Chains A and B, each alone.
Chain A
Amino acid sequence: MLFRLLRLILVFMLVVSAQPSFDAMAQAIGQGSAQLIADQQKVVQDLTAKTDGLEKKVTDDAEDDAALVDIRLQLEDMSRAALNSALAFRSRLTDINNRIEVLGPPPAQGQPPEPAIVTNERSALAAEKAEINAVIAGAQNLSIRINGLIDKIGIMRSELFRNVLTKRYELTDALSPQAFSDAHDQFTGLYKAVVSWLSFAFKFKLQAVLAAALMALGLAAVLLVGGRRLFGRIFEPDPSIEEPSYLSRLSVAFWSTLLPSAALTVFLASTVFFFNYYNVLRGDIGVFLNALLAVIAVVFCVNRLTNAALEPRLPNWRLIPVATGPARWLVRLTTAMAVVIGFNNFLAVVNDKMGSPLSLTIARSFVATIIVGVILILMALLKPFRARDGTWRPWPAWLRVTAVALGLFTIAAALLGYIGLALFVSLQVVVTGTVLVTAYIGFLSARAIGEEGGFADTSIGRWLTTNSSYDETALDQLGLVVSIAINLMIVLVFLPLILLMWGFQPGDIQAWAYKLATGVTIGSVTISFTGILSGIVVFVIGYFLTRWFQGWLDGSVMARGRVDPGVRNSIRLAVGYAGVAIAGLVGVSAAGIDLSNLALVAGALSLGIGFGLQNVVSNFVSGLILLAERPFKVGDWIVAGDTTGTVRKISVRATEIETFQRQSVILPNSNLINNAVGNWTHRNKLGRVDIKVGVAYGSDVKRVHALLLDIARSHPLVLKNPEPFVLFANFGAAALEFEIRVFLADILNGNIVQNDIRFAIFDEFNSEHIEIPSTPRAVVETKKPEAWPLDDDKMEADFADKEQAEAEAAVEKARLAKSRRKGSKPDPD
């Protein structure tokens, strides 16, 4: 940007200073870009020629799926190349546009004509731009054509696929004696090729073969032994454990599949590598060997997986609770299925390389699909579960029916001659089945982790328990999050995998994912998941920043600055609300929700909201006023209407007051603003306590006054200033009434002082023989009915109840006495 501005200024200065050299400059520029234009024209021409060639190839190779995929990849590269050739003009076009802008528009009619040199340059630039545009247009047309071809290839491939599935072959040809003799020829050919290669290898390359085999074996041994040393603990099931947890069974299954498979794969791959390295492989043998080794690897992996999941020897370690006999059978059948499919694939490679007749391919596929179908039906008919009473129970009905249906379908398709369809279905059953089973085991593990205490049992959980301050509940919640994440990951990994298996293109999946992420348009509303997610993230970050700032302000700045707790609380709350509001606004705009739309809606609804939320809004505003005015703070003893208690929390809608009976009262803030609120501890805790006492007529009132004053003064908690005062209040009906008025530094001590003073008065009056009169009440005699006869059982039960209640009361008392802290004082009211 800055650079461009500088360039603009430079050009402008040149224009001003070097008027006469315009023409020369324009020419120089023109020559520079002429080269560029010629280059890119050539590039586009080359690409066009290549496209022509590929277009021809597409029609030639219409039957070959792999070739079509290859052409498609080439075309995609070329499409990018065409775009890049157009991109090469970017800087030149920018220059030209800037220049034209500097020159300004041509003068309108009636205005004085501009110098010829300016007109010339403008037309030269326009001409150059037109030329460049022509080249870019060429690139654009080429790109459209290439993309059209790519689409065409997609259509052709899906048609090809459909053809494979729907094509019907004549089985009579394939299963005639001719096929057997073909097969015989084929095997002879293969045998000869292998034997000749072997003799060649033994005669001329024996050392190399041995060295290669030895090296590969050594590598595999290192991997296997090292893996066992390192991971033996986790992938060898321990038969002595009675009931291993699901998670440990799962991890053993996982590792005991993965590590040996990896070791074998490394062994096979290194064998091929070393054979290639020593030039031992010759002709088609390399291809055969590759295919054979791939088959071995797949069969081994499937066998390990089923063995690990079913553990025929160790019932404790079985992932799926089938009985031992069926487990053994399931392992055998699955392995057999993998062998059949793998062997069929190997033979396909052989057939392909040796150019065998179609009938042989059909016969081979026919046999393979029939076997797979039969195995499927056998597996479905197996009764794997053993009930408590010893009867055998079959698979769940849906599984059984699906498997039988698939098996019958495969066999029927093969028998009717739809070999392609049968082969496709049997392959999908094996591959998709494996993927689904793996995904299912993953789901199970996610569930096991998500269960209560499941995560704490994992190695990560144990590590966290020892190395961090997470407690059990936090770990549990973390486990829940992890299990959700695992579920999500399984869907994200296996869904595309299955889609790929079923013939979708990676590009399609990518495009879907992109569409899902950037926005799904429903009507005129666009829902964008990344937008919503980023909005949430922004809000959460803002929220925590606010919390952190609040904490820092409160804990470091204000606590050190000796700010009054009430002010501190107000500032903290205000900062919190402001921060959350700002975070919310930023989050909403980050989510891509237009706030102006929201304002429109708010305007339309404001009347309704005004009526509907009147109370809430008034409370909210009252809360703000409370924060600003601070008539009371947290911890104050207030009296609001009928409620008396300590303020616990002031929030923006309501204030929480805890009464002395420990009842929490949530008082809407508007009540506290609109009505009188008494605060015993507003500026200080000073308060007055009044104690009334009456003495009998005939007492020495002077003496009484002096005694009362003395008692009041002698109490340590009573303030000397303001002085205690004894009021001779009234000549009452039954007594001469006095009132002691004492001021306390802390009104919360009121009850203690009242108690002390009343006890003191009572003692003092007793010793001085001053009578405290009580008004006699009329005694009313009531005749109680005599309880007779008594039920002995009931009496006993009552007695037992009473005893128990007393015991409980004693326990409670002891507990209370223990729990009561030293120095705590009774509530003032």
Chain B
Amino acid sequence: MPCEMQQEAVWKHRYCKMWKSVVAAIAFLAVSGSAFAASAVNKDAETRTLIVTEGGGKTELALAAGETVEFCPNGCFVTLPNGDLEALTGSETVEISGGVGRIK
């Protein structure tokens, strides 16, 4: 382990140990605090629009070519570019190619 390697300099050794604890704490925080949402990927060369019904209103979500967007954290209805209506729980990936949306 690098900490043992750095015995030659006492302060380095100490800092290394310090860092270990800090890193463990940060990693824990990051893992426990991460949140998930549905994401949409537009693989077409032109802008595609999704209509997202979330809460009490509808919003249009325009995706530029190649863009990936996170949306709908708590479940929503979405109208795909080909007119299909689907419900999402908030963990899916919507992939748009050739004007057709697929849910994965």
A binding-site residues for B, Cβ under 8 Å = 1, 80, 83-84, 86-87, 89-90, 93-94, 97, 129, 133, 136-137, 139-140, 143-144, 147-148, 150-151, 469-471, 473-474, 477-478, 481, 485, 514, 517-518, 530, 533-534, 536-537, 540-541, 544, 547-548, 550-551, 554-555
Q: How far is the CA of A533 from the CA of B18 in the complex (A)?
A: 19
Is the beta-carbon distance between B27 and A541 smaller than 8 angstroms?
yes
A530 neighbours in B (Cβ, 8 Å): 30, 33-35
Interface pairs (24), CB distance under 8 Å: A83-B89, A86-B86, A86-B87, A87-B89, A90-B86, A90-B87, A129-B84, A133-B83, A136-B87, A139-B87, A151-B55, A474-B18, A485-B25, A514-B35, A517-B33, A517-B35, A530-B33, A533-B26, A536-B26, A537-B27, A540-B23, A544-B2, A544-B19, A548-B2
Is the beta-carbon distance between B34 and A140 smaller than 8 angstroms?
no
Is the beta-carbon distance between B77 and A140 smaller than 8 angstroms?
yes
Q: How far is the CA of A89 from the CA of B84 in the complex (A)?
A: 12
How far, in Å, is B94 (CB) from chain A's closest CB? 12
Q: How far is the CA of A94 from the CA of B84 in the complex (A)?
A: 11
Q: Does B49 contact A (CB under 8 A)?
A: no
Residues 75-89 of B at the A interface (beta carbon under 8 Å): 75-77, 83-87, 89
Is the beta-carbon distance between B87 and A87 smaller than 8 angstroms?
yes
Is the beta-carbon distance between A86 and B35 smaller than 8 angstroms?
no
Is the beta-carbon distance between A148 and B56 smaller than 8 angstroms?
yes
Mask: chain B, 54-90; 1 = CB below 8 Å from A; 0 = not: 0111100000000000100101110000011111010
Is the beta-carbon distance between A481 and B22 smaller than 8 angstroms?
yes
B53 neighbours in A (Cβ, 8 Å): 140, 143-144
Q: Which of A94, A143, A470 contacts B77 (CB 8 A)?
A: A143
* Known A-B contacts A93-B86, A470-B17, A481-B25; A139 and B77 likewise in contact (beta carbons under 8 Å): yes
B binding-site residues for A, Cβ under 8 Å = 1-2, 4-6, 14, 17-19, 21-23, 25-27, 29-30, 33-35, 37, 53, 55-58, 70, 73, 75-77, 83-87, 89, 100, 102-104
Kindly report which residue of chain B lies nearest to residue A87, judged by CB atoms: B87
Q: Which 5 A-B pairs have the closest CB atoms?
A: A86-B87, A147-B56, A551-B5, A547-B2, A551-B2
Kindly report which residue of chain B lies nearest to residue A528, judged by CB atoms: B70
Q: How far is the CA of A551 from the CA of B102 in the complex (A)?
A: 48
A148 neighbours in B (Cβ, 8 Å): 56
Q: How far is the CA of A541 from the CA of B27 in the complex (A)?
A: 9
Kindly report which residue of chain A lies nearest to residue B75, judged by CB atoms: A83
Q: Which of B18, B33, B34, B35 contacts A477 (CB 8 A)?
A: B18
Q: What 9 new A-B contacts, CB under 8 Å, besides A84-B87, A86-B85?
A: A86-B87, A93-B84, A147-B55, A481-B18, A514-B73, A518-B73, A530-B33, A530-B34, A541-B27
A1 neighbours in B (Cβ, 8 Å): 104
How far, in Å, is A582 (CB) from chain B's closest CB? 17
How far, in Å, is B85 (CB) from chain A's closest CB? 5
Q: How far is the CA of A789 from the CA of B27 in the complex (A)?
A: 81
* Known A-B contacts A133-B85, A537-B30, A540-B26; A548 and B1 likewise in contact (beta carbons under 8 Å): yes
Q: How far is the CA of A478 from the CA of B14 in the complex (A)?
A: 11
Is the beta-carbon distance between B85 and A137 smaller than 8 angstroms?
yes
B57 neighbours in A (Cβ, 8 Å): 144, 147
Is the beta-carbon distance between B26 and A537 smaller than 8 angstroms?
yes
How far, in Å, is A569 (CB) from chain B's closest CB? 14
B58 neighbours in A (Cβ, 8 Å): 144
Is the beta-carbon distance between B85 and A136 smaller than 8 angstroms?
yes
Is the beta-carbon distance between A151 and B2 smaller than 8 angstroms?
no
Q: How far is the CA of A514 from the CA of B100 in the complex (A)?
A: 30
Is the beta-carbon distance between B77 and A83 smaller than 8 angstroms?
yes
